[in-house]
Amino acid sequence: MEQIFIPAAVLGSFLILVVPGRLRYYYTLSLVLFVILVTSVPAFFQFFSPLADASAIPVSPIREVMTSTNWVFRGYLGELRFTLDPLSAFFILVTNFTVLTGILYSRGYLKAYAKTKNPAQLALHNFSYTWLHFSMLAVLTIRDGLSFLIAWELMAVSSFMLILFEAEKRATLKTAVNYLIQMHIGFVLLLFAFLLTEAGTGVMSFDALPAYFANHSNTGLFLLFFAGFAVKAGFIPFHTWLPEAHPAAPSHVSGVMSGVMIKMGIYGIFRVLVSVQSDWYTIGLVILIISAFTGLLGILFSIVQTDLKKILAYSTIENIGIIGLGMGLGCIGLALHKPVLAVLGFTGSLLHVLNHSLFKSLLFYASGSVYRATHTRNIEELGGLVHSLPRTAGLFLLGSSAICALPPLNGFISEFLLYTGFFKGLGAGNEYLSIVFLVVILTLTLIGGLAIFSFSRAFGISFLGTPRKVIPIQASAITRDMIFPQLLIAFMILGIGLMPLAAISPIASLVETRFRLGPISSGVFYGTSLNRISLFGLILISIVTLILYIRTLLLKNRKPEYGPTWGCGYTHATSRQQYTGTSFAENLAELAQPVLRDREEFRTISNEDIFPRTRSLHQHTSDIFGRGIGKLTDLSWYVLKKLARLQTGNIRHYVLYAFIFILLIFALLYLKLI
């Protein structure tokens, strides 16, 4: 099976480059669908194994495919092993869904480029898209260190190609190169981590980790892996590539990158975490602290952005923080031998991975539609889109409510699990741990409040009110095939919100087996809480419907009047007087000034200004970490420039260097230093 499938997929992807333009989309779609089908079926059976008993199916080649967990591909250079376990299976299912919605969405989104881009560029884009998909699947199933790193690198390169789609813009080019460099910093960290593993055990593989952790200190190697994966996942302070790269890429790519590609970092951390043997307490605390900062700062930065996709990108960082908080809770639960906490933490974390992949891709697609229709992403120029793009507005609102963790949607479920875990943990450890957990609860509530702040701003400013700038809006640019994948996601968001147990129970059983906790999740999850929450979802929806029905009945025979918005006596209000995104964020930006570093350029009126000239106000906010890294690169640039003097081009100088080097070696040998 695998001997045929892998070459077929690889060959098929190269054919994209030669398929005629009319068929390119359908060809890519069918290739992606084929790969999704072949990988999802075994993943499905692996993931839902407690629920879907494969032994009921008669023994046949079909069953073999469905339940195969080990693929060995024998090529000319050697063999490549793909191993499927419930953890990989979960991530594969998440990945496949978002990749599918991404490609469906891309059809309408890329139509506008048919005139400006030549066919080769579009073909290369589709080719890179399929390779991003392949490499993510490979990352999720390969255990061998070297092959894993190659797949990891392929993922970085293919996403680099995707970001580069609009390479004619200088900013995009710069961003993409920045992205590639940062990915390689992560790569080097991972390489070191794998080399350490090999030095300790003789095998360079994830499978060797339990042996390594059994004989060595756990914290060191784990943190090295964590740092390497954190660059991909976007934990602060490794996040600086993320808010640049997501907006630069086309929207379906941003959706896939933010929805699933950065989750490969989370997968990696989980993959290492299941092998860790001790030091849970330290590891848990470190993850908690980093994640709390990530969550809080991520959402704070998102509030001051004016680019719609940058708001979403920073909120991605926030959500990575929430995922990390769950991981930290799980580790501390293991350290305290409280399996309930561990199950709540890890399950909440993994469920949030799924949830975030849903609502974030939805939001990116919706903001892509806004960009398609208005050709701007600056919320200060938007406004009143709800009238021209009602469907996109509704979907964006749904995604926003879900990301703010509001009931009855899916985001609430995962945050509820985390909250419950932290509240349960308040009395579980010593007093200091109680304080840590309380601080985390404080962080989570602040994140929740800030998320509502950020998304009411993003939605309110861009979709409500009246347009702030006269922009021709092409509502027809948003075709039905752009809306359909978003509806698919919306359906999932509501589904998980109303039937949380369907998603939670397989995840919880995965957590139980992977972290050797014993069958306890049934006691944690099958109680009343989650059933009650889904009941409340239904009640809420029915009460809203009822009230709206009564309202319609009441208003049936009354004729409402229409008029302008109440201007407090002022009758000539213009749309420029509306609240803007910057003014909405201002009071918070002022309070959070040390982090946000709001910079204003404004010339005050002096006595000499008898006839005041035109005035302008510029407000800037910048990411302090981005600046820090900028300083670091400036410094290394300076050092390198100085070092470049050594490169004179004169052969005699080079001979001199060699001579000095030999002398140095002799001297060191003589002094017995080497």
Partner 1 sequence: MTGALLAIVSAIFFPGIILRVKSIAGGRKGPGILQAWKNILLLFRKSSVFSTTTSFIFRLAPAVYLATVLCALMLLPFPGMPSILGFEGDFILFAYLLALGKLMFILGAMDTGSSFEGMGANREALYSMFTEPAFFILFGTLALLSGHLSMQDIFSHFQFAGEFSLITGAIATYLLLQIAMIENSRMPVDDPRTHLELTMVHEVMILDYSGVDLALIQTGTNLKFVLYGGLIANLILPVKGGWLGTNVLLFLLVQAGFAAAIGLMESFRARKKLAKNPQFIVTLSSVALIAFILVLLLTRNLIR
Report 347-386 residues binding partner 1 (CB under 8 A): 383-384, 386
* Residue 265 or 581 with smaller CB distance to partner 1: 581
State both tokens at 229.
């994966």
Among 171, 591, 655, 660, binds partner 1 (CB under 8 A): 591
Tell me the C-alpha distance between 598 and 325, whole Å.
28
Output b/e per residue, 134-170; b: 16+ Cβ within 10 A: bbbbbbbbbbbbebbbbbbebbbbbbbbbbbbbeeee
Q: How many Å apart are CA 580 and CA 228, to the nearest integer?
A: 39
Told to check if 594 binds partner 1 by CB under 8 A, we report: no
State which residue, 543 or 635, has the beta carbon closest to partner 1.
Answer: 543
Give the residue from 123, 145, 126, 143 showing the smallest Cα distance to 134.
Answer: 126
**Least distance from partner 1 to the Cβ atom of residue 211, Å:** 40
Tell me if 441 contacts partner 1 by CB under 8 A.
Answer: yes
Q: Which stretch binds partner 1 (CB under 8 A): 34-42, 356-364, 585-593, 602-610?
A: 585-593
Per CB under 8 A, contacts with partner 1 among 517-556 are 527-529, 532-533, 535-536, 539-540, 543-544, 547-548, 551, 554-555
Which of the residues 460 through 499 are near partner 1 (CB under 8 A)?
460-461, 464-466
At 504 the three-state DSSP class reads helix
Residue that is written with structure tokens 């024998």 in the block = 74
| Residue placing its CB nearer to partner 1 in the complex, 3 or 583 | 583
Rule CB under 8 A: choose which of 573, 595, 624, 629 binds partner 1.
Answer: 573
Q: How many residues bind partner 1 (CB under 8 A)?
A: 81
Give residue for tokens 């602040």: 446
Q: Which stretch binds partner 1 (CB under 8 A): 253-261, 330-338, 560-568, 619-627?
A: 560-568
Least distance between partner 1 and beta carbon 302 (Å): 13
How far apart CA 455 and CA 459 sit, in angstroms, is 6
Shortest Cβ 329–partner 1 spacing (Å): 15
Strands 79-83 and 70-74: antiparallel
Biggest CA–CA distance in the chain, Å, is 104
Query: 69: closest CA among 27, 39, 29, 26?
Result: 39
d(Cα 655, Cα 660) in Å, to the nearest integer? 9
Which of 446, 488, 494, 501 touches partner 1 (CB under 8 A)? 446
* Residue 246 dihedral angles phi and psi, to the nearest 5°: -60, -45
Q: Which of residues 379-438 bind partner 1 (CB under 8 A)?
A: 383-384, 386-387, 390, 393, 397, 401, 404-407, 412, 416, 419-420, 423-424, 426-427, 430-431, 434-435, 438
Of 97-126, binders to partner 1 (CB under 8 A) are none
For the bound state, the minimum distance from the C-beta of residue 190 to partner 1, rounded and expressed in Å, comes to 37
Nearer to partner 1, 452 or 520 (CB): 452
- C-beta separation of 327 from 393 below 8 A: no
Considering only residues 187 to 216 of the shown chain, the ones binding partner 1 according to CB under 8 A are none
Q: Which of 172, 174, 121, 131 is nearest to 153 (CA)?
A: 131
Of the pair 420, 474, the CB lying nearest partner 1 is at 420
Indicate the residue among 575 and 633 with the shorter CB distance to partner 1.
575
Asked if the peptide bond before residue 467 counts as cis, ω within 30 degrees of 0, the response is no
Residue closer to partner 1 by CB (options 248, 296) is 296
A 10 A CB-CB count for 306 gives: 20
Q: What is the DSSP letter of 577?
A: G
Q: C-beta of 403: minimal distance to partner 1 in Å?
A: 11
